[in-house]
Amino acid sequence: MQPYQFITPKYNLLEDQDGTTIKRTQEITPEFLDQCADNRLASVSNPMGEFHQFASIPTAVVEKWLREGFNIYEESAKAIVARLRKEDLGAFITTQRSL
C-alpha cells in the first residue's frame, strides 16, 4: 500500500451585508482517487494485521458528517463504510475485505 499525501483543506472568510461566512473547500485530485483504488486492489493480497486501513476520507467529508451528527471517531468501520456507500463515496474505500 502506498502512503497518502495529505490534502489540506482551505478555509476562507467571506464577508457581505449578512455577515461573515467560513467557506471550506478541499480539492480531491484524480491522483488521490487513483491511490485509493490501487490500495483497494492491493488489500486482497496484503496480509490483514492488527491495523487495517479501510478508507481514506477527506476532511471535508468528515466535517460534513460531524455537522450532520455522524461522529466518525465514535462509529465502527462497518458503519463508516456503509455510510460511504450510501452517499456514493465508495471511491474513498481502500479495502475489499469484509469488515
Cα 6 to Cα 62: distance, rounded to the nearest angstrom: 14
With beta carbons less than 8 A apart as the criterion, state whether 52 and 97 touch. yes
Q: 1 in a domain, yes or no?
A: no
Residue 57's domain comprises: 10-92
With beta carbons less than 8 A apart as the criterion, state whether 74 and 22 touch. no
**pLDDT computed for residue 45 by the predictor:** 80
Q: What is the pTM of this model?
A: 0.75
Q: 40 in a domain, yes or no?
A: yes
pLDDT tens-digit profile of 3-19?
A: 556 677 888 898 989 89
Match 480531491 to its residue by C-alpha cell.
28
Name which of 6, 96, 80 is nearest 43 in CA terms: 96
Q: 3 in a domain, yes or no?
A: no
**pLDDT computed for residue 50 by the predictor:** 67
Q: 36 in a domain, yes or no?
A: yes
